[in-house]
Amino acid sequence: MQKNVLILDFGSQYTQLIARRVRELNIYCEIHPFNKIPEDLSVFKAAILSGSPFSCRNPEAPKPDLSKIKGKIPLLGVCFGAQFMAHNYGGKVDSSNTREFGRANLSFIKDGELFFENILEQSQVWMSHSDSIKDLPEHFTRIASTADVLNAAYKIEGEDTYGIQFHPEVYHSTDGAQLLENFLVKIAKVPQSWTPSAFVDMTVSELKEKIGTDKVILGLSGGVDSTVAATLLHKAIGKNLHCIFVNNGLLRKNEFDSVLDQYKDMGLNVKGVDATDRFMDALKGISDPEKKRKVIGNSFIEVFDDESSLVEDATFLAQGTIYPDVIESISVNGPSATIKSHHNVGGLPDFMKLKVVEPLRMLFKDEVRRVGAEMGIDQKLLGRHPFPGPGLAIRILGDITLEKVRVLQEVDAIFIDALREWHLYDKVWQAGAILLPVDSVGVMGDERTYEKVVALRAVESTDGMTADWVDLPHKFLQKVSNQIINRVKGVNRVVYDISSKPPATIEWE
């Protein structure tokens, strides 16, 4: 695996964004916690220090040992990273008179600086800090300012070491991509060789070497990640890949059969297992969302283990783990506080003695789609919206019954079909319906009704870390609402969720 750029994480909310911007330059990078710097730094051609919620003046603030990095390879400190170096090497960092947050413009750029090539004065940047560098250390040279921040950017003389007190990774910094390109490509001379084609060739080669002639079992979900993982493995080991697609009874309407049909033309060895009754029995009477997830996860493992035992001499279990999952598990603060459990994360039970292989573990979601396109996977499969592992169970608030599943499947189908019909599906990152544990009074004809309420949810996002609700056309919502109420027995009221993430999450449970 090529390394190229090391990103040291100090706990910033923007660290993953830095990595994404670097990858967009076709440059491979890895995020590591500041307190777990890799032993072998010779494989890295440049390093970036992230921001942090800490003040560098705080005694509890991160204090990384940069002795093997600074002055040895090109180094860029972003916000906290810049302030830490200024503070640590003899400068003065102090609290700002006012918190510097939001848009600002570069009022001064030092002439002839390769770091700012093709970037003009008045270029907009994004600030997000409450401290500021008041005095630069000896041998530090100011190379940019804004109206309020004198030392917006600096360079250390005799080194390819830079610091900036703004965030180039945020879209609000209009020349942020150019600045990162200047630093990584023009100054650090990092090769732009991280492409979908290169990833496919490299990964297939590595999988062949790792797996050899052993058999691999993969749980397919019909989603993008597992489909791309399966295709990569199929290219590497062919018929020795055994895919299992489990119907937990909580899929979308007709999804079990339609997904199996889609895989028929891909040459994959797929077995469909309908375990609806098993999951429904296990979920009976359970309404707590975390318990629902755990029951579904345990039931999935039991079914999967039953089926995998029918594959003689299986050695590996393949998973569609992607890079955000990996970053969460090695975060600077340890694993993040549990928001909700994911049934495919957390290791294997003792009775499944299989080694794990994760071909997508270093990719972001958008990279997974690009790799899939490189391998010729149908755009309909690659464009599928993300769907939660526990399925409709976490979109039915409260306990689960077959009747509730039926109602929600019908509502969801009307909503998703309408998005396609109105050419809105591909403009939405994720959409679905939620069945609320609320009965609402209504009037149909001359009769008074007392039936369920459903909420529709549609968000736009890049990777699910943050999301905004989609302002769907009112006429569209009006038509969908009428169709749901007229066609789905048991529903008499439709609402639309206009909450963003954060503070809300995409799913309701």
Cite the active site residues. Answer: 79, 167, 169
Helix axes 276-283, 289-308, angle to 10 degrees: 150
d(CA 436, CA 494): 10
Burial class (CB in 10 A: 0-12, 13-18, 19+), 435: buried
The rounded Cα 486 to chain-centroid distance in angstroms is 37
For 95-157, give the DSSP string.
EEEEEEEEEEEEEEE-TT-GGGTT--TT-EEEEEEEEEEEEPPTTEEEEEEESS-S-SEEEET
The pair of three-digit structure tokens given for residue 200, joined into one six-digit string: 């496919």
Tell me whether residue 224 is annotated as binding. Answer: yes
**Cα–Cα separations (whole angstroms), residue 42 to 19, 55, 163, 282, 500:** 20, 30, 22, 52, 42
Tell me whether residue 227 is annotated as binding. Answer: yes
Residues in the chain: 509
Tell me whether residue 193 is annotated as binding. Answer: no
Identify any residues that bridge with 448 across adjacent strands, giving them in sequence order. Answer: 443
CA dihedral of residues 42, 43, 49, 54 (deg, nearest 10) = -80
Tell me whether residue 226 is annotated as binding. Answer: yes
Tell me whether residue 225 is annotated as binding. Answer: yes
Tell me whether residue 141 is annotated as binding. Answer: no
Tell me whether residue 336 is annotated as binding. Answer: no
d(CA 354, CA 126): 47
d(CA 442, CA 170): 47
The pair of three-digit structure tokens given for residue 286, joined into one six-digit string: 């359970």
d(CA 37, CA 41): 8
Dihedrals phi, psi of 462, to nearest 5 degrees? -105, -40
Task: Quickly tell me which residue has 């965030």 as its tokens.
Answer: 167
The pair of three-digit structure tokens given for residue 325, joined into one six-digit string: 């999952």
Annotated binding site: 221-227
Name the binding residues for ATP.
Answer: 221-227
